[in-house]
Amino acid sequence: MRPKALSAVVIVFVLLTAVNCFSQQTDVTQFAAFGGYSYLSTPSLNLAQRGFDGDFGYNYNSWLTLGFDFSTFTGHSSIVPSDLNSATQAKLVPYLPYLPPGFGVPYNSSVQTYEGGPQFNYRHFKYVTLFARPALGALHANFTTTSDNPLV
């Protein structure tokens, strides 16, 4: 077989097999669940929180899923006067000379997020599902100081 003919056969073979590679996803289960490690960072407060994220969905049909998501995070850091807004810093000006250098108030933080709503799936590809998830959510945060410093 001549090189040009061989090249043409290889190209036709590759094009025909590519059509099969992008077949539509057929195995859509009724329920979907996910759980795993999650990380939330707030650089402005030097706060890194680690936690868990869980997701549950009911596949109403192949293109619509109704779902709920829950996350919980915990972490700790210290807040220093420079982290505060300018109005609060202005109130602290008379006390700043009495604070030791690098003074900060340690605190613990916990955050929970809740989110729910529909998910619209595009399952045209076999190994990838594209989706859009317009949803409503809420966030609950709790910060507790942990200092035994009498200045706090």
**Residue 51 CB contacts under 8 Å (≥ 6 apart), including other chains:** 37, 38, 39, 40, 71, 72, 73, 74, 111
Tokens representing residue 14 in the block: 């590759």
pLDDT at 142 over 80: yes
pLDDT (0 to 100) of residue 17 = 64
As a dihedral over the C-alpha atoms of residue 22, residue 23, residue 24, residue 28, rounded to 10 degrees, the angle is -100
Single pTM value for the model: 0.65
pLDDT tens-digit map of 45-95: 889 999 999 999 999 988 899 999 999 999 999 888 888 888 988 888 888
Conformation bin of residue 44: beta by default, left when phi > 0, alpha when psi is -120 to 50: alpha
Q: What is the mean pLDDT of the chain?
A: 84
The helix or strand, by DSSP H or E, that contains position 21, with its residue range, turns out to be helix 3-21
